[in-house]
Amino acid sequence: MRFSLVSLARQAFGGAAWPRQWREAEPKPAYDVVIVGAGGHGLATAYYLAKEHGIRDVAVLDKGWLGGGNTGRNTTIIRSNYLQDESAAIYEHALKLWETLSGELNYNVMYSPRGVMMLAHNEHDTRVFKRHVHANRLQGIDNEWLTPQQAKAFCPPLHVGTDARYPVLGAALQRRGGVARHDAVAWGYARGASAMGVDIVQNCEVTGISRQPNGAVAGVETTRGTILANKVAVVAAGHTSVLMGMAGVRMPLESFPLQALVSEPVKPVMPCVVMSNTVHAYISQSDKGELVIGAGTDAYTSYSQAGGLHISSHTLEAICELFPSFRRLRMLRSWGGIVDVTPDRSPIIGLTPVPGLFVNCGWGTGGFKATPGSGHVFAATIARGEPHPIAAPFGLDRFRTGRLIDEAAAAAVSH
């Protein structure tokens, strides 16, 4: 039997109402804005619509439970060390919001800037990461180059011996990067949005997007009935193509399973986040003590929320190679999420060919870190009906010109 957060919380709070500051709403027949997807991005969008634009007649609909998509399934790596100015700007905007988010929401999202270190194992890695260090410093973003000995001092369990298959030749370190508690981010934004009047409707799958005779959006069809809306915003990572297809819009996206796993909990042993593109692993330690390990995407498109076993086995081999002392640990559980990926590995945020229909998607394997910034600029885009300046480069129209080239830092590990 499967329990949703809603049913568990209902039991915890006596079966009736939600705790004072967050209720599960019944849908109304009409809203100003309907947001499809109660992940971090959708909930953050609702929060900033209400808080910064005074738009509170908003419903956030989810086919499952809030935070049950990629928001609650990711490895929570937060960083802004991207190469292109456009990407660095949006991820840095998000990183600055992370720094004050617990205070903003009065909810501990456990943002922990413990440093994200990216390992170089060959000449190509070294050149690429040094290029990122220089680009970031020109952008005013912290990033520094470490020798193998400095990398070892920063992360003592890391093996930097020359006997390794791919020895560590150096590392790029973003000290302000780190991790946060993923589901707390969803809960914090949900509680904040709900307190301002936003309705959050779980177990409400959107099955259609209806249009007015003039072509503009009219609302959504759902498993709980028709809901009219002046504006509809699709923020449904992994499922965006399906939803946008309901409005007749084809999206340049592919959906892949991406998986992660955690070890049994142990005392603090891993002080930072480490990522290796070449050996292919990324790892940190949660406050519960589990080592949080991410794997790669499957090689084929799918909507399955579980990836291939050979992918996670490969990742564990890589972890054991980089951290020999972790070999004796047992794995506790693994899971998957569905990520949607654009051809240039940058997100899509903005207006669509359908008046009143907005979209935020394509964050691929790296959108958790963007959550506050994405919600912030998307809310402004919806409220004003034109792209926020930081979101403007990420419009759908860029695929006509090929304006953005592949953002190599989008994955940071080869997915």
Task: Enumerate binding residues for ligand FAD (CB under 6 A).
Answer: 36-42, 61-64, 68-71, 73-77, 205-206, 235-239, 243, 258-260, 294, 337, 339, 363, 365-369
Is residue 338 within the footprint of ligand PYC (CB under 6 A)?
Answer: no
The nearer residue to ligand FAD, 46 or 169, going by C-beta atoms, is 46
Q: In angstroms, rounded to a whole number, what is the distance separating the alpha carbons of residues 118 and 247?
A: 41
Measured in whole angstroms, how far is the alpha carbon of residue 111 from the centre of its chain? Answer: 14
The nearer residue to ligand PYC, 98 or 107, going by C-beta atoms, is 98
Q: In angstroms, rounded to a whole number, what is the distance separating the alpha carbons of residues 351 and 65?
A: 27
For the bound state, the minimum distance from the C-beta of residue 201 to ligand PYC, rounded and expressed in Å, comes to 29
For 215-269, give the secondary structure using H, E and C.
Answer: CCEEEEEECCEEEEEEEEEECCCCCHHHHHHHCCCCCCCEEEEEEEEEECCCCCC
Q: CB neighbours (10 Å) of residue 21?
A: 12
Q: In angstroms, rounded to a whole number, what is the distance separating the alpha carbons of residues 292 and 285?
A: 6
The nearer residue to ligand FAD, 38 or 168, going by C-beta atoms, is 38
Pair 173, 271: CB distance under 8 Å:
no
The residue number with the shortest CB distance to ligand PYC is 366
Contact pattern for ligand PYC over residues 195 through 214, marking x by CB under 6 A:
--------------------
CB-neighbour burial class of residue 104 (10 A; exposed 0-12, middle 13-18, buried 19+): middle
The nearer residue to ligand PYC, 27 or 294, going by C-beta atoms, is 294
For the bound state, the minimum distance from the C-beta of residue 30 to ligand PYC, rounded and expressed in Å, comes to 38
**Hey, which residues between 60 and 79 contact ligand PYC (CB under 6 A)?**
75, 77, 79
Locate 315 and state its tokens.
């990742």
Residue 395 binding partner per list ligand PYC, ligand FAD, none, with a CB distance cut-off of 5 to 8 Å that depends on partner kind: none
**Hey, which residues between 362 and 401 contact ligand PYC (CB under 6 A)?**
365-366
For the bound state, the minimum distance from the C-beta of residue 366 to ligand PYC, rounded and expressed in Å, comes to 3
Amino acid in position 84: Q
For the bound state, the minimum distance from the C-beta of residue 256 to ligand PYC, rounded and expressed in Å, comes to 12
Nearest C-alpha neighbor of 413 from the set 315, 282, 308: 282
Residue 41 binding partner per list ligand FAD, ligand PYC, none, with a CB distance cut-off of 5 to 8 Å that depends on partner kind: ligand FAD
Residue 412 binding partner per list ligand FAD, ligand PYC, none, with a CB distance cut-off of 5 to 8 Å that depends on partner kind: ligand PYC
For the bound state, the minimum distance from the C-beta of residue 78 to ligand PYC, rounded and expressed in Å, comes to 8
For the bound state, the minimum distance from the C-beta of residue 375 to ligand PYC, rounded and expressed in Å, comes to 17
Considering only CA atoms, give the Rg of the chain. Answer: 21
Is residue 294 within the footprint of ligand PYC (CB under 6 A)?
Answer: yes
Is residue 307 within the footprint of ligand PYC (CB under 6 A)?
Answer: no
**Hey, which residues between 160 and 189 contact ligand PYC (CB under 6 A)?**
none
The nearer residue to ligand PYC, 139 or 222, going by C-beta atoms, is 139
Per-residue b or e along 154-169, where b marks 16 or more CB atoms closer than 10 Å to that residue's CB = bbebbebeeeeebebb
For the bound state, the minimum distance from the C-beta of residue 308 to ligand FAD, rounded and expressed in Å, comes to 13
Q: CB neighbours (10 Å) of residue 380?
A: 20
Locate 109 and state its tokens.
């999202």
Pair 47, 188: CB distance under 8 Å:
no
For the bound state, the minimum distance from the C-beta of residue 16 to ligand FAD, rounded and expressed in Å, comes to 25
For the bound state, the minimum distance from the C-beta of residue 87 to ligand FAD, rounded and expressed in Å, comes to 12
Q: How many residues does the chain have?
A: 415
For the bound state, the minimum distance from the C-beta of residue 378 to ligand FAD, rounded and expressed in Å, comes to 10
Residue 62 binding partner per list ligand FAD, ligand PYC, none, with a CB distance cut-off of 5 to 8 Å that depends on partner kind: ligand FAD
Amino acid in position 257: P
DSSP label of 333: E
Show the DSSP H helices in 294-341 as ranges: 309-322
The nearer residue to ligand PYC, 77 or 351, going by C-beta atoms, is 77
Strands 273-276 and 116-120: parallel
Residue 339 binding partner per list ligand FAD, ligand PYC, none, with a CB distance cut-off of 5 to 8 Å that depends on partner kind: ligand FAD
The set of residues, in sequence order, having a beta carbon less than 8 Å from that of 167 and lying 6+ positions away, is 121, 148, 160, 161
The nearer residue to ligand FAD, 169 or 279, going by C-beta atoms, is 279
3-state secondary structure of 325: helix
Residue 88 binding partner per list ligand FAD, ligand PYC, none, with a CB distance cut-off of 5 to 8 Å that depends on partner kind: none
Where along the sequence are the contacts to ligand PYC (CB under 6 A)? 75, 77, 79, 282, 294, 365-366, 412-413
